[in-house]
Amino acid sequence: MHSGASANKIFDLERSILKALCLGQAATSESARRSLAAHTWQDQEHRVVYEALQKLRAHDPEFLRERLPAQATRMGFPDVDWNAYFAPADVSVDIEQLIRELAATLAKRQ
């Protein structure tokens, strides 16, 4: 796989995972968060969103929509595009599958 295509896939997978967490679609979000604890986020904004989610430890999308921007600002990142993380999803996603796919894609790059 071309490294640019791989980087795009990783970006898309990271974004999909974070969106699922923000939208509360991940019924196993605690398990997912543990699985992601050692992940090195490839995009700085993704890292900030994940760290803000970790600090808030909430699952309710409305609560997160209200509190994540302030949390990211307190962390020194006021310019996160929150619309990308809270845009309505067409279908529920299997976050565990996305995490496995992300790990596999990262392993191929090494």
Read off the pLDDT of residues 52-106 as tens digits, 9 standing for 90 and up: 999 998 888 899 999 999 999 999 999 999 999 998 876 778 888 999 999 999 9
- Per the structure, the count of domains in the chain is 1
Sign of CA dihedral 29, 68, 90, 18: negative
Residue 41 is part of which domain span? Answer: 3-109
Least confident residue range of 15-29, 32-46, 51-65: 15-29
Which tokens belong to 103? Answer: 């790990």
Which tokens belong to 12? Answer: 């898309």
